[in-house]
Amino acid sequence: MHQLAPPFQAYVQQITGRAPVWLPWTGGTLPGYLEQRYVPALAMLDGQVWLIVFLRQQDVPAPLQLLKQLEQLAARLVPPAAGTCLVAEHLPPYLRNRLVELGQPFVVPRRQLFWPAMGSAETVQRPRRLPPRPAKTLEPIAQQLLIALLLQRLLPPVTITTAADALGVTPASISQAVKVLEASELVHSQRDGRERTFSLAQAGRIAWERAQPLLRTPVRQRVRIQHVELPTGAVVRAGESALAAQTDLVEPLEPVHAMASRHWPKRTAVPTAIPTPDAGTGMVELWRYPPQATKGEDDVDPLSLYLSLRDSKDERVQLALKALMEQIPW
């Protein structure tokens, strides 16, 4: 067996989750010109027998000649294999690109795998990073994404692109958030063709309870201003004002609104902060992420509202929060 067999086997299992099982070679003795360049082997993968061809030499032939010789190796097998996968320690970039164009599976262990039948298409693997550790507290985007899943604003199977569009963030941010949530066993993901899909790992209420130690208040800062100076745009009723609108809690003396902190004016038209309550004042909460569960919604999401008030010492607020949570359609 070729020296690349163990790293090939380990790498394929790492990328696809399936380990090749070696079988006895049944193709007989090779002609000299093929034996000098290749070491063929047979492997069972996904219930099918594949011809695995290890490249001996670094001076690889031209793409079309290479394909012709791979076909000659495959023709020696009766019954025929499901397909042929080339394995090499190194392949020049032009050859990798050409093999992709021609649809020829190949593996460069620890670096690259192109094997469409295994659901892995032209995936360049950089040096593997350690998987994210379970979070102590969730970053804002991870918390926002989890809440959107819990509230069923994102229905499975959810793709990275769909979630990014719904939350108004980049696909890279969603991808990282999914990794963190998966490390914390709150979601699970799988590759579906070229897309990665994900969903809650457990039923909504169970996932919510499990996530409690990782969740924190979305409120970064509270600012008291004159209500007439309330910034226009992505501002929604929040705090006790929002809680009163959804339960029997009495409206607070000062109305409370929320907005993502990144939308707060920073250079021009900055509202004047007022230290104590006065006629016409109200509170603005600056949140770590948008208070709406997804783009286009008009109200604060109820789970983030709960998190923003759960540490309140007011017994009336705690009773109202309990009533709020009983309304969640898990």
Task: Return the percentage of the chain with pLDDT > 70, whole number.
Answer: 94
Which of 41, 39, 5 lies closest to 23 in space, CA to CA? 41
What's the average model confidence in pLDDT over 152-177?
A: 92
Residue identified by tokens 């990282």 is 176
Residue 118 confidence (pLDDT): 78
The angle, 0 to 180 degrees and rounded to 10, between the axes of the packed helices 171-183 and 160-167 is 110
**Average pLDDT for the chain:** 90
What does the DSSP 8-state code read for residue 215?
-
Residue 254 has pLDDT above 50, yes or no: yes
In the chain, the N- to C-terminal Cα span, in Å, equals 55
- Collapsing DSSP states into helix, strand and coil, what is residue 222? strand
Given this model, what pLDDT does residue 61 score?
82
Q: Does the structure show a pLDDT above 70 at 38?
A: yes
User: What's the average model confidence in pLDDT over 252-266?
Assistant: 90
Q: How far is CA 192 from the centre of its chain?
A: 13
User: 3-17 pLDDT, tens per residue?
Assistant: 999 999 999 988 888
The reported pLDDT for the residue numbered 14 is: 87
Per-residue confidence at 134, pLDDT binned at 50, 70, 90?
low
Looking at per-residue confidence, does 322 or 126 come out higher? 322
Give the pLDDT band (50/70/90) at residue 136.
confident
Domain ranges of the chain: 5-124, 140-213, 217-326
* pLDDT at residue number 191: 83
C-alpha radius of gyration, the chain, whole number: 29
pTM of the model: 0.60
Q: Which two tokens stand for residue 27?
A: 């193709």
pLDDT at 209: 96
Quickly list DSSP for 224-254: EEEGGGPPPSS-EE-HHHHHHHHSSPPPPSS
Q: How far apart are CA 247 and CA 263, in angstroms?
A: 28
User: Taking residues 30-50, what's their average pLDDT?
Assistant: 92
Contact 195, 230 (CB under 8 A): no
The region of weakest confidence among 40-44, 48-52, 61-65 is 61-65
Q: What is the pLDDT of residue 297?
A: 85
Say whether pLDDT at 2 is over 90.
no
Which has the higher per-residue pLDDT, 191 or 106? 106
Q: What pLDDT score was predicted for residue 62?
A: 86
Per-residue pLDDT, 56:
87
CATH of segment(s) 140-213? 1.10.10.10
pLDDT higher than 60, residue 298:
yes
pLDDT single digits (tens) 87-125: 999 888 888 889 988 889 999 998 899 988 877 654 544
pLDDT at 132: 60
